[in-house]
Amino acid sequence: MIYLRTADDSLYEYVRLQLDAAWGHPTADGSTATCFAPAGSGVRDPDGRLMLAINNDFASYEPAASMLSVLIGTGQVEQIAEDDYMTAVVRNSP
């Protein structure tokens, strides 16, 4: 798994919509509505930054692979440790 964090909701939504368009989501049969949760329902850390866990296969498919490399390289998205992600998930659970 790869764990990511960003403070930019607009960037998160832009990436999500670009991947949805590239991969044909929502699918015609309705089995997949989007590639990952919209920003409004995404997991957040205590500072309000969006966090996302993706499996390694997801990150290897284009255009996700290219986008991820650029976003991490520019600092717009930060790769974080599993513990940081899990701590926030537990904290945000009902």
Q: What is the pLDDT along the chain (94 residues), one digit of tens a residue?
A: 999 999 999 999 999 888 888 888 888 888 888 888 899 988 899 899 999 988 888 888 888 889 889 999 999 999 999 999 998 887 665 5
Residue 72 is part of which domain span? 2-92
Please choose, from the candidates 27, 25, 52, 26, the residue with its C-alpha nearest in 3D space to the C-alpha of residue 39: 52
Q: What is the sign, positive or negative, of the torsion defined by CA atoms of 77, 81, 82, 85?
A: negative
Distances (CA, A) of 27 to 15, 35, 57, 74, 78: 18, 10, 20, 31, 29
Please choose, from the candidates 87, 88, 90, the residue with its C-alpha nearest in 3D space to the C-alpha of residue 49: 88
Kind and range of the H or E element at 52?
Answer: strand 50-54
How many domains does one find in the chain?
1
